[in-house]
Amino acid sequence: MLKLKPRGFPRLSPTRAGVASPVMSTQDEIRSLPPEYATVDGRLTASPAGSTAHLSSLPPPTYVTLPNEDDSSDAGTADIPAPPRRLRLQQWRTQTGAADRLGAPGETSVASPTTQSGYYVYYRLFAPHGALVPQTSFDQSDPLVARRVKTSSFTPPYYPISLIRRLADAESIHETSHLNLKLTLYKACTSDAPMSPQKLVPNIGINTGSTPKEALALVAENLPPEFVRARGPRTASTAQHGHYVYYRLFASDGALVPQTSFDPSDPLVGRVMTTFVCPPYYPASLFRCLADAEHIPQAGKWRLYKVRTSDTPMSERQLVGKLGVDVGSTPEEALMLVADNLPAAFTEGRAYAGAAQPGASQCVYYSLHHAAGSIPSRHAFDPSEPHIGFLDRDLMPPPECGRTLKACIARAEGKPLSLYWDLHVYDPSRGTYQVLDDLRQVTWMGMATVSISYQTESIPRTELRWVDVKRPTPPFRAMQPSSGRHFTCLVAQRDESVANAGPLHSQPIHLDPTSTPPLHRRARA
């Protein structure tokens, strides 16, 4: 029976990169660590340069079997029969010039995950409106991902605040130079919530931020405008680094041509990369990204619909879903972005000129009328009936209701929209025209409200009727208030112009006809 010496450090025969090394003790192994791993009494500590070596940043441990020192002939080759004694050794990776060259900025070569998994941390930088180009970008085909942060440079314990400080320092983002700066860290771009500040981040560089597809997401709010302009992405990433989100842009009265249009045959569809959208993927985050791509003033009112036939916009409290896969994955399933109250300078030159796109298969047919009779349409498709026009449904923003129809037809015909205009639709069940309310949804298929013919070469039998009601000029009547008495009410008809000696109030007031000139006001019901 072989005996083991319990005292001292036994001799070992470790190997590095498959090459056998001379027999050395554990103390010799610790002393042979690279300079960045300093030791005190055989324990790994911080180096004088300030870098910290932590065991969690090193690869998994390797166990070697100890030989019997009493049997010199079997030293280094024979295993201990019973029971084998094993010593846990920690491996390390020596920094070489080749590893630095792989991580040099501007190079497109990417090392294998086995070489980089425990050495670099991949991350992406975001502002609330979208992605920014990091300083440590290394891949020209995907300039929005960075990896020049080593796991050994993070200060333990590995809480999110430690990672945020190190990443902010790598990007030259300092709290002292940015007022009201807010930094948030997400485990991935698809994460629903940021990392919990009370929980440790496990396996930095191994399971967290180990590859470009699993890169961390650092969101910086309240950055200076000059910082954002200098870091804005100048070139789009290729499709191999993510998916596209397809969308259509609308004003309240029709379609607009997006600036990110890519297909000349369908210029009304735009797209952005999913890596441009700031996490988490709420409708507000997606709108900010699309608004930045289209230069839309974000102070206005906006609505985001999942598809064209949606009746209600997306809820601001619910996540959009997986971008490019479940939402906006194809041009046929493009998102609908409707921006209301856009300035005229923005819509000028971007509104789609025409009533239908080439090859349109779904159209709305309408006719224009006023009190004296029908009006020729600008977009008549049959010379024998010039008062019947048509409009492509793809040019109409959701929801498809009476107000949307009136606004789109008014823009197509070049007429200002009036509150006195009424929209009538044909009801086949009753055989008559019925007034369509502004908020009432239009049923395109079936017998509820409108019957649509999809054959553009035939004359539709049921078309929308555009009515312009001419109302007479409201009469004018002067009212003489009583001096020194309580004026409690003003009796007037709807749309009647009256003149009184002061403003209208709901409470009794004293009126003096000699103190103020008469004011002409319009009474409303």
Most distant CA atoms of the chain, gap in Å? 128
- 103 in a structural domain: no
Whether residue 292 is contained in a domain is answered as yes
209, 481, 498, 511, 515 from 485: Cα distances, Å: 80, 8, 20, 7, 15
Contact 391, 356 (CB under 8 A): yes
Q: Where are the beta strands (DSSP E) in 187-318?
A: 216-221, 244-251, 254-256, 269-273, 302-305
DSSP string, 5-73: --SSPPPB--EETTEE---B-HHHHHHTS-TTSEEETTEEE--TTS----GGGSPPPEEEEPPPTT-GG
Spatial contact of 479 and 379, defined as CB atoms under 8 Å apart: no
pLDDT score, position 240: 53
Domain end position, chosen among 188, 204, 231: 231
CATH of the domain at 424: 3.10.20.90
- Name residue, tokens 């450090």: 9
Could you tell me where the beta strands, DSSP code E, fall in 419-518? 421-427, 432-435, 464-468, 476-478, 486-487, 497-500, 509-510
* 82 DSSP assignment: S
Q: What span, in angstroms and rounded, lies between the C-alpha atoms of 58 and 100?
A: 18
DSSP, collapsed to helix, strand or coil, labels residue 293 as: helix
Pair (370, 435) in one structural domain: yes
Mean pLDDT per segment of 10 residues, for the chain of length 525 residues?
50 42 46 45 42 42 43 41 38 33 38 47 92 87 81 80 89 72 91 88 78 90 88 61 88 93 92 92 92 82 89 88 86 92 85 80 80 82 84 89 87 79 75 79 48 33 46 47 45 47 42 41 38
Name the region of 431 (left: φ>0; alpha: ψ -120 to 50; beta: rest): left
Task: Note the pLDDT of residue 493.
Answer: 47
What phi and psi, each to the nearest 5 degrees, are found at residue 407?
-65, -40
Last residue of some domain: 290, 315, 347? 347
pLDDT value of position 25: 47
Both 334 and 275 in one domain: the answer is yes
Q: Please, which residues have CB within 8 angstroms of residue 416's CB and are 6 or more apart in sequence?
A: 410
Among 293, 303, 308, 393, which residue's Cα sits nearest to residue 340?
A: 303
Task: Let me know if residue 121 belongs to a domain.
Answer: yes
Position 337 scores a pLDDT of 95
Asked whether residue 388 falls in the same domain as residue 436, the answer is yes
Output the pLDDT for position 119. Answer: 67
pLDDT for the residue 377? 87
**Do 146 and 202 have their domain in common?**
yes
Q: How many domains does the chain have?
A: 5
246 and 342, same domain (yes or no): yes
Q: Are residues 220 and 138 in the same domain?
A: yes
pTM of the model as a whole = 0.62
Residue 23 within a domain: yes
For residue 98, tell me if it sits in a domain: no
Indicate whether 52 and 77 sit together in one domain.
Answer: yes
Supply the CATH number for residue 288's domain.
3.10.20
Interstrand relation of 497-500 and 519-522 (parallel, antiparallel or unpaired) = antiparallel
Do 371 and 282 reside in the same domain of the chain?
A: no
Decide which of 170, 202, 231 is a domain's last residue: 231
Q: Both 284 and 326 in a single domain?
A: yes
31 lies in a domain?
yes
Handedness of CA 225, 291, 301, 185 (dihedral sign): negative
Q: Return d(Cα 350, Cα 369) in angstroms, integer.
A: 29
Q: How many CB atoms lie within 10 A of CB 421?
A: 16
Which residue range is the domain that position 477 belongs to? Answer: 473-525
DSSP three-state, residue 296: coil
On whether both 38 and 121 belong to a single domain, the answer is: no
DSSP state of 312: S
Residues 463 and 415 in one domain: yes
Integer Cα distance of 107 and 246 in angstroms: 30
Look at residue 204 in the predicted model and tell me its pLDDT. Answer: 77
Nearest to 54 by CA among 62, 41, 44, 40: 44
**Domain check: are 442 and 518 in the same one?**
no
Q: Is the residue at 107 inside a domain?
A: no
Q: Show the tokens assigned to 197.
A: 């500040």
3-state secondary structure of 220: strand
Is residue 60 included in any domain, yes or no? yes
Q: Are 421 and 281 in contact (CB under 8 A)?
A: no
